[in-house]
Amino acid sequence: MSLSRTLHLLPRSTIVARRSLSTTAPAFVKAGDPVPDIDLVEGSPGNKVNLAKELQGNGLIVGVPAAFSPACSASHIPGYLNSASLKGAGKVFVVSVNDAFVMKAWGATLDPMNKSGIRFLGDPDAKFTEALDLSFESTSIFGNNRSKRYALKVENGKVKEAFVEPDNTGVDVSTADKVLH
Active site residue 72: yes
Which of 29, 72, 97, 154 is flagged as catalytic? Answer: 72
Long-range contacts of 162-169 (CB under 8 A, 24+ apart): 162/28, 162/29, 162/30, 162/31, 164/28, 164/29, 164/134, 168/65, 168/136, 168/138, 169/65, 169/71
- The closest alpha carbon to 178, from 165, 119, 125, 169, belongs to 165
Residue count of the chain: 181
As to burial, measured by CB atoms within 10 angstroms (0-12 exposed, 13-18 middle, 19+ buried), residue 73 is middle
Give dist(CA 109, CA 37) in Å, integer.
29
Determine the longest span between alpha carbons in the chain, in angstroms. Answer: 68
- Kind of pairing, strands 44-50 and 146-147? unpaired
- Catalytic residue annotation: 72
